[in-house]
Amino acid sequence: MAIDARIIGERIHDRRLELNLSLTKVALDLHISPDYLRKIEYGTRHPSLDIVLSLADYLGITTDYLLRGEKDPLNISAELGAVIRVLQRIQKIV
């Protein structure tokens, strides 16, 4: 099975937007350049395994989904996304 960088990038981009996170914030939080993350999202750069693992953890998705498109059968990712959004709202209030 071939890994398609464009599809991986789309999944990263879509999830980042779903969580209402800026590209710059994600990149800086993961200690990578915004340009590198942009290239990953556009599919012009293949992310390293370390970056794949970091992105999956950060975005609350599984590496299986990120690499192969396999959805989380327990829908844990959606649950985590909802929790993250609530925590972000609380952070803005405090």
pLDDT at 84: 81
DSSP state string for 55-87: HHHHHT--HHHHHH----TT-HHHHHHHHHHHH
Question: Which residue range forms the structural domain that includes residue 74?
Answer: 5-93
Q: Cα–Cα distance between 39 and 32 in angstroms, integer?
A: 12
pLDDT confidence bin for 74, thresholds 50/70/90: low
Worst-scoring range by mean pLDDT, 12-16, 21-25, 35-39, 60-64? 60-64
pLDDT confidence bin for 75, thresholds 50/70/90: low
pLDDT at 3: 78
| CATH number where 51 lies | 1.10.260.40
Q: Cα–Cα distance between 94 and 80 in angstroms, integer?
A: 21
Number of compact structural domains in the chain: 1
pLDDT at 53: 92
